[in-house]
Structure 1
């Protein structure tokens, strides 16, 4: 288990390493802190290098987040905000944290657009489903009426009713008037 929390610098990525546990309080901003970080490196001389003090005075509530994993590993994230003394607006917009947030905002905007498109499509499909449901119900009623009718199929022209077999025996036309086809009567 690491003694020092791993520091992730979302400003410019220059202060990545282990937090020494020390916080410097600048005289001009006594309510803020500047964490001391032991830089990580691959060379032997860098591993044991002296801690560097973070250049910006941070608000411990807004700019420093610390997490502990289930394995006991600690991570400290340094997050940029607009109100940090000495960090200009231009520098703030160049920070990693700002760019990550902008990327997230773009992604959120894109996803919201997709949601709106899907909701429109859902509305259209729902209306089409309602129309198809009504058509199916009408067809089922018509079929039920025809099957329950013991006397047969009624001709819309002459209003005579004959069994389906007589329509078929008359080459698919009304056995009474021979003017209407079976498909038109159903």
Structure 2
């Protein structure tokens, strides 16, 4: 089990290695720290080189996160933010952490657009469903009126209802207006 946490540098990837446990406090920013790290060597025999203080003063709560795995391995992540002193925004935008977050923000924006489109489609579909329900209710009322008036046939032109026998007595036309034929009304 490692005694010191492994540092993951999400600034520019130059400070991957073991944290010594020391935190330098810069005189000009006493509320911030610069963790001391033993950067990994490039040769197998040089696992760690001499410790170096991280070059930027970090806020312990905003810029440094420590995790522990189930196996007891500790990882310290150094995250860039815009509010680091003497760290210009153009430099911040070139960091690994910013680029990772920017990709996530683009994905989130894309998903939000997709959600908005689906909500619009849902609204259109709900309106269409309401229109169809109203149309069906009107049709059912008309059908109910036709079947309930079994004692008579309704004229589509004048709206009067007369028994079939009266239609036949009027030569197959509406007994009230004589404009609609019996075949057309049924």
TM-score, normalised via structure 2 length: 0.75
Q: Which residue of 2 aligns with 1:147?
A: 147
- Unmatched 5+ residue regions in structure 1? 164-174
| Structure 1 residue matching 2:105: 3-state secondary structure | helix
Query: Relative to structure 2, which stretch is displaced further, 153-162 or 110-119?
Result: 153-162
Q: Any idea what the Cα deviations from partners look like across 1:61-88, whole Å, max 9, x if unmatched?
A: 2211122344443322111122323322
Two-structure CA RMSD over aligned residues (Å): 3.0
Structure 1 residue 135 displacement after superposition: 0.6
Q: Which residue of 2 aligns with 1:58?
A: 58
Q: Which residue of 2 aligns with 1:167?
A: none
Aligned length: 175
| Structure 2 residue matching 1:45: 3-state secondary structure | coil
2:40–2:47 Cα contact (<8 Å) kept: yes
Cα 1:146–1:32 shift into 2, 3 Å: same
| Structure 2 residue matching 1:102: 3-state secondary structure | helix
2:173–2:182 Cα contact (<8 Å) kept: no
Q: Which residue of 2 aligns with 1:22?
A: 22
| Structure 2 residue matching 1:12: 3-state secondary structure | coil
Structure 1 residue 121 displacement after superposition: 2.0
2:6–2:74 Cα contact (<8 Å) kept: yes
Q: Which residue of 1 aligns with 2:39?
A: 39
